[in-house]
């Protein structure tokens, strides 16, 4: 497989450097959501939130309404982290194998 140089277009016309940057930002936003879980639950219980650069930029009770709000302010919903904040902590049960 050929290595792409800076700014070179990769698979499906995507700029690989930009895709890597976007992925790193997405991961940082997820880490921030997990680290702020309790405060987010207090402020946004039962809400869908949009996060960009470790900041909640929009919230709504319905995902479709959140998407509409983001589009209205000129933000592509695909460009931000969108997640649901439950009212109570989620407990996961993992089966030992």
pLDDT digits (tens, 9 = 90+) for 37-65: 999 999 999 999 999 999 999 999 999 99
Residue with tokens 């809400």: 47
pTM of the model: 0.76
Please tell me the predicted confidence (pLDDT) of residue 1.
Answer: 43
> Where do the H-state alpha helices sit in 1-97?
16-35, 37-43, 63-72
Please tell me the predicted confidence (pLDDT) of residue 69.
Answer: 96
pLDDT digits (tens, 9 = 90+) for 14-39: 688 888 898 999 999 999 999 999 99
Q: What is the mean pLDDT of the chain?
A: 87
Whether the CB-CB separation of 76 and 70 falls below 8 Å is answered with: yes
Greater model confidence, 77 or 16 = 77
d(CA 58, CA 63): 11
């Amino acid at each position: 497989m050929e290595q792409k140089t800076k700014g070179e277009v990769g698979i499906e016309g995507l700029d690989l450097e930009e895709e890597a940057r976007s992925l790193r930002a997405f991961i940082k936003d997820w880490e921030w959501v997990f680290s702020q879980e309790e405060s987010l639950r207090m402020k946004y219980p039962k809400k869908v939130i949009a996060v960009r650069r470790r900041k909640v930029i929009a919230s709504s009770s319905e995902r479709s309404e959140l998407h509409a709000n983001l589009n209205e302010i000129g933000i592509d919903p695909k460009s931000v982290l969108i997640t649901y904040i439950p009212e109570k902590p989620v407990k996961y049960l993992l089966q030992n194998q």
